[in-house]
Each structure stands twice: as C-alpha cells, then as structure tokens.
Chains A and B, each alone.
Chain A
C-alpha cells in the first residue's frame, strides 16, 4: 500500500504526465495543482536567469487561474531566503510578513566532463524557484508539507526539462520541414528572381525575422550588384547595388573576411553565400525592430540552407550567362537573328492583342564591301562595332536591335508609328555619320560612315513579321537607288510610286524582282 505522501506524489505525477506544448502550459497545470494541494493563496514560478543572477517572475497562480506577472529579484542582493534555499533547496525565511516558502526547482544531469578519478559527479542546473504564499490566516507550513513540497518541486523540474526537450525537438522538426518546403518551391521556380522572392518571404514567415535581405555580388564577387529584401510588412523590395550606402557596401568585405559566426546576443546574422571560392553574395536576417535574439538552432539551419541556396544561385547565373552568349552576337554585342525573331513574334502578337503600333527599321552600312576591301577586314569589323555601339546606346529600353547578317541590322520599335520611327532613324543616321574611320588607315582623309534605312509599320504596312520585313526592305532598296545615306518609310515610297504611275512619269516596277536584284549587289552580301 502507498503511504499518504507517496500517493500524493503519484497523483501529482499523473496530473503532469502529459505532453505539454511549452513551459507556460506546464506551469498552468502544475501551479494550480500545487495551490489546491496545499490550500495556498498564491503560488509563483520564477525563472532562474543564470547570466544575470536574477530570479525573474514568470507566472502567478491565484484562485483558479494563472497569469503573467513581473518581478525581478537579484540573487546578488542576497535576499534572506537565498542561503537557506541554496543549501537545503527550500527556504522559509523571507522578507514577507506572512508565511511563504521558496522551493528550488533544479535539474540534475551527469556531468559531461568527468575528471579522471572522480567516482560520480552531478552537475546541478538551477531551473527556477517556486514561491508558495499563505497570507490569509497566517497558516505556517508543517514539516510534512515542506517535505512533500520539496519532492513535488523535483517532479516539476523533471517535467520542465522534458517539456524543454520536446519543444526543442518540435522546433527542429518545424524548421527542417519549413526549409524542405522552401527548397522544393525554390527548385520549381522557373525564374531565379521569382524563386528568390519566394524563398526570402518563406524564410521570413517561418523564422519570424523582422527583415530578410539577399545581397548578390557581381561575377567576381567584388561589388554588390543588387539587393533583394523582404521588410517587416512582408513586402518585397529590390535595390540596385549602386544606390547602397558606404556602410552596406563595407559589409561585403566584413562578411567574407569574418565568415558567419554566431553570437548569442545578436539580433542580426550575416551568412556568406559561397561556391568553392566564388562569392555569390550574402544573406542577412535581422530582428532589429523587435530586438529578439536569433537562436543558435535557427542560425545553424539557415547556414545549411544558405549553402544550397548559393549553389542554386550560382547555377542559375551560369545558365543565364550561357543563354546570354547564345543570344548575342559576339562582335557587335547585338542580339542574334533567332532571339530577334522570337521577340518580334511576341511583340506582333502583343500589338495585335492590345491594338498597338510597331515599326521596323532595316539598315545596312553604305559601301561596306568597299571599306572591307579598301582598308581591310579589321577596319570593317571596327566599323560594325562602332555602328552597333551607336545603335545600342541610342535606342529606348523597349527597342530590340539585331544583327541580321553581315552588315545588315534590324531594329524593332514597339509602340512606334512611321513618323516616330523616322525621328529615331534620323537620330541614328546623324550619329553614325559623325563616325570617321581612324585616320592612320585613311592617310589623314576624313572618311565618314553612313547608313541606309528602310522603315515599315504595323498594322499599316503588314501584320506579319515576314511582310513587315519585306516592306522595310523595299523601302531600303529605294533609298539605295536614290544615292544611299538616308532613310525611307515604305508607305511614303509606295504612295510616291503610285502617284508617279498615275501621272505616267514611271512604269510600276516589279518590286520583288527588283529588290532581290538590288540585294545581291549590296556590300557584304
């Protein structure tokens, strides 16, 4: 048969014998149980904060309920109960004017660093302190009660430790699941930027950081190229590396010099992203606003995740570089014909769908064959590069130029009608005419470059890429027939031709045959 004390202990143990979500829910169960058992007026639980040598009140139980309360007691103040508490685990003498009892809640575990010769050693971890108060009727605690309370304190300490372990395990599981989910999302994102946005938002949500920022470096890892971030409201922000302050650019060096280290007091963590020796960028997680510390477990998990992230970003960059190389002409740095055709088809579709205009300029360098033959292929290449440079720098962001073949180039001008295209053509003509061949090759003679351009417009001149190209080419032919160095719009050329026919001054030409004949005689063909 169990004696009274053992039975009470057994009952208390049964009451706490369940899985608690956290320390709070355990205390919400244990404190009322204690209160009922000893008919207490109030019972308190204080956390023992080792670093600050402080007993910090966590919860109070009164009547049938528990609630958060605040009270800090420094053990360095040597409160009257401390000595007795540390010696015997229980203290009856307090500064309070009514009967109260302090009970040490401690956890015993085998010492991890047993020295040779030591038979057995236990390291005691102080978890907290219970304060049991009876202020009504000033009832003192009996010896039997004190004895029992001590054992119940031990029972609570075991449960607290188990709850902490369970909580840590659950957190670990939650973090691994979260990171696994995020990796899957990242892997299935078609575009790198979309994937990065999703991942940063996910990390912020799961880890509950105030801000998450990803700094991406340029190819050689010496400068910050861009910053992608998620702010405290969950909004995604993107910044050009050029706009960053000096402090932020300085971080790049510091992050890679010091590598990621964890400091328990920190509410900011930097994790470098590296693939072998290549710097990809770095991640920063901060709780600057909330002042919450970033846990070591979170830091470790993020570090592992960052390695995977760095690899993916590096792969994606490589892929982009390969794509870039295959889409651009090496000499002129202009997109190649295949890339242009894709964009042209897309833009025609968009223009039809939204009822927009679009123009096309086809051009070639005048007397390019003569330049090549007369001054050499080196100068020919130089001329091509110069003309391409003017085209690249003289157009709007939305315009798409292309090296169509030899010295022939095409420019697609979305949302542009014939008149607007003429303005652009004139600007290009003037800028290119300003280019002179290097004098050391021309014996001091100023040889200017010039171009001829033909323009066609959607939907007036045609509604398919093929027809628009054909019409622009016909306009170019007319320019070449009229002495080169200028530009013409197909509609105007066609109208002039029709007017000439009507006036009987000219017979209508068979355009297709004439155009092809002209093409074959052009330089570079």
Chain B
C-alpha cells in the first residue's frame, strides 16, 4: 500500500512518518505501507494525472489532501466513495467545521476523511516583546499595532545582523495566501459571495486585506525569498514574531527554553479571524488495496493516534475526543485557542477552490518577486487581482453553474 503525503513536519517529516508506519504495523503486522513525500505543488499536479497513469507511473492507494480539494477529486472521479466501502463509516465525532469538506457536495457520501487541522495565530517571543511593549495583547490586537511593534523591534535589534521582526512561516519563504486570508476576512472581504455564485477577489476589501499582509514584506519586516536557516527565525533570536498555522507553543517552550506566547492574528478591520485548514485522506479509486487503505484511514482517526500524530506535526486533532483531550491538557492552550477557534474561518468545499488558491498563490509569487526587485506597486497588484476575479468568474460559470 502506498501513501502520498506532504512534508508536514518539514525536514523531520520522514522520521515522523516512519513512526506512524511502525505504529500501524504494530497493529497490522502484515501491512505493507510505503510513504512517498511530495510538496503540495507536486501533489496538486498529480491530482490531475493519477486518473490516467502511464504504465511506469505509481498508483497510490491513500493520498493526503487539503480538505477543500475533496469536491474537485469527486468531480474528477479520482476519490473512492468511502461510504460505499464501509457503510458504517461516520463523521459524528469529527469537529464541525471539518465535516462539510468530507462529503461530495450536496450528498452525504463521504469521499475523504479528516486527519488533522491547523489554525493561524500570532506567536511572539515574550523576551523580545518585553523590550518594546508592556501590553503586547493590546498592542498586537490590530494590524497597525503589529506594524508599530515591528518598527520598534527593528530599532531595538538594529545591531543584530540578519534580524527581522517577523519570521516568514511560509515553507517557500514567499508570500502565502494562507497567511493573507485572515487579513482579507478581517477587512470584511472574502473569496466568494455567500451563495458562492460570484467572486469577491476583485473587491476593495479583498485588495486591502492582501495589501495589509504584503506590507510586512514591503516594509522589510519579514524576509521573503531568502535562504532559510538562521536568518530571521524565532529560534535563532533573529526574529521576534511569526504568523503561523502550526500550534508552536510546545515546540518553542521545549526548544531552547524560549517563552513563546500566542495571540489571535491582529485584526486589519473590525474583528480578527483565524484560518482553519484541515488535512484529509482519501482512497484512490484505482487502488487495488481499498480495504487496507480504509483501515489505515480509520487507524489515523483513532483518538490515541490522533493525539500522538497531531503532536508530532504540531497541529490539532480533527476529532472531538482527541481534540478535547488535547486542548484541556494545558490551561494556557485552552485559554489561547478557545477564542482563536471561535473566530476561525475555512474555505468552502467546491470544485474550483484549489484552482482559486493556485491563481492567488501565483499572484503573490509575482508580488514577492516584484518586491525583491523594488518594482512593486499597489496598482499592479490590483490589476492582477482584477484579472484573477475575471478568471474565477469564468471558472464559476463552467464548474459551479
């Protein structure tokens, strides 16, 4: 059996997956599970080719996907109907915001199963912030407050080579749509209208939200497209804050004894919103080991495995029992994440959602290059977003009409 997965734990991903495989093999000694690690980009491309593999291409049995790809994979006919494979399969224990992303839209047929999820939040080094503010919670409640703190931090650490107030949590070290979304939502913007019949990508609120996020790179508060390493990282002391989706408290506290605190992402508008992103697993319709694949999916959903694996990748368990156990295990965690979770938003499970994110990701990539080249203008970003809006409108008319 082959699992295609993403490098969720960065450079340590292989070790984490090996642990998961050994846990699985303890219970199912005859199971033969191989894990291949691909980036999200590679997996996205492969989602369109696994349907018609050439004779030399590998056929995976289970695949990890961001939750909002489910509708697309159902539409493509790539995902197996899990409700058919196991009529008793249920999502009753699954956390509410993740449920809708497991079904074929408009039906109760389960096509993907939740694995874990993450939430965006602002993490900061208490020792650094203490130097510039006595009330970080108040000062970091708004985006403007964040920018002010960044400026103050930069002055304070002006002698430290390679220092940036913000660490870039994007794996590529570029601008990421996932980190931009809370800014857009906070401005009252969004990707789609409520009835999902039109896009809001070209609207003023959306553009302003993106611009808020881009400001971090424009003002050089956050490194972009630079060598990842000791430059601009919280752990090395060359950064003080980070907007990240991973729950990083445990890691930072354990590693080097750093005191890292977590707050909601500063609000660019009326209220703060977190981005909730789930990771699901689905069974390839062409798999010859569907029963074993389902066995693995159910194994991953078990409370003890959920807790253990979520801890390994610094994310949150996707099922109620494990999640409650996790969140109540630390009063600090409970206090921090209760508010963040209640303000969390997620992306809808529609066919073109992945495509919309790809379009916007490309715009932000161009934006990052322009910033590096010192030729970024708000007008050029707005123009790109207007064009993107037209593209999304067209896609909506083809696939969601």
Which A residues lie at the B interface, using CB under 8 A?
A: 21, 42, 52-54, 56, 60, 62-63, 65, 67-74, 76-77, 79, 81, 94-97, 174, 205-206, 208, 210, 232-234, 287-292
Contact = CB atoms under 8 A, between A and B. Distances in A.
Given A21-B56, A205-B52, A68 B229 contact: no
A70 B173 CA distance: 8
Task: Find the residue from A69, A96, A232, A289 having the highest chain B CB count within 10 A.
Answer: A289
B358 A291 contact: yes
Nearest to B51: A234
B231 A95 contact: yes
B38 A97 contact: no
B13 A67 contact: yes
A462 to B, nearest CB: 51
B352 A289 contact: yes
A73 B171 CA distance: 11
B226 A68 contact: no
Nearest to A79: B227
Contacts of A81: 227
A95 B227 contact: yes
Contact of B75 (A42, A205, A232, A288): A232
Contacts of A292: 45, 48
A232 B365 CA distance: 27
Contacts of A287: 48
Interface string B217-260: 00000001111111100001000000000000000000000000
B226 A289 contact: no
B172 A289 contact: no
Contacts of A79: 226-227
Given A210-B48, A291-B355, A70 B172 contact: yes
9 contacts: A42-B11, A56-B172, A73-B225, A76-B225, A95-B226, A208-B52, A210-B48, A290-B47, A291-B355
Given A70-B172, A97-B236, 17 more contacts: A53-B369, A67-B7, A67-B14, A68-B7, A68-B39, A69-B39, A70-B7, A70-B39, A76-B372, A81-B227, A94-B227, A95-B227, A206-B52, A233-B76, A233-B77, A289-B351, A289-B395
B226 A94 contact: no
Contact of B355 (A63, A73, A76, A290): A290
A290 B76 CA distance: 11
Given A42-B11, A95-B162, A288-B355, A72 B225 contact: yes
Nearest to A97: B230
A402 B355 CA distance: 55
A76 B369 CA distance: 8
Contacts of A290: 44-45, 47-48, 355
A76 B230 CA distance: 20
Interface of B: 7, 10-11, 13-14, 37-42, 44-45, 47-49, 51-52, 54, 56, 72, 75-77, 162, 171-174, 224-231, 236, 351-352, 355, 358-359, 362, 365, 368-369, 372-373, 391, 394-395, 398-399
In the complex, which of the residues A70, A79, A94 has the most CB atoms of chain B within 10 Å of its own CB atom? A70
B45 A73 contact: no
A95 B228 CA distance: 9
Nearest to B57: A21
Given A54-B369, A95-B230, A289-B399, A72 B56 contact: no
Given A72-B173, A94-B227, A52 B369 contact: yes
Nearest to B49: A208
A54 B225 contact: yes
A68 B42 contact: yes
A53 B352 CA distance: 30
A208 B369 CA distance: 30
Nearest to B397: A245
A213 to B, nearest CB: 11
Contacts of B369: 52-54, 74, 76
A81 B37 CA distance: 29
A79 B76 CA distance: 43
A207 to B, nearest CB: 10
Contact of B225 (A69, A77, A97): A77
Given A65-B14, A79-B226, A70 B171 contact: yes
Given A232-B75, A233-B75, A71 B171 contact: yes
B229 A288 contact: no
Contacts of B39: 68-70
Contacts of A53: 369
Contact of B11 (A56, A69, A233, A288): A69
Given A79-B227, A95-B229, A97-B230, A67 B172 contact: no
Given A68-B42, A70-B39, A288 B395 contact: yes
A68 B38 contact: yes
* Most chain A beta carbons < 10 A, residue from B11, B227, B355, B373: B227
Nearest to A233: B77
Contacts of B40: 70
A215 B72 CA distance: 26
Contacts of A56: 172
Contacts of A63: 14
Contacts of B358: 291
A451 to B, nearest CB: 49
A79 B224 CA distance: 12
Contacts of B373: 76
A73 B369 CA distance: 10
Contacts of A71: 171-173, 227-228
A95 to B, nearest CB: 5
Contacts of B162: 95
Given A208-B49, A210-B48, A232-B76, A96 B226 contact: no
Contact of B372 (A68, A70, A77, A208): A77
B355 A96 contact: no
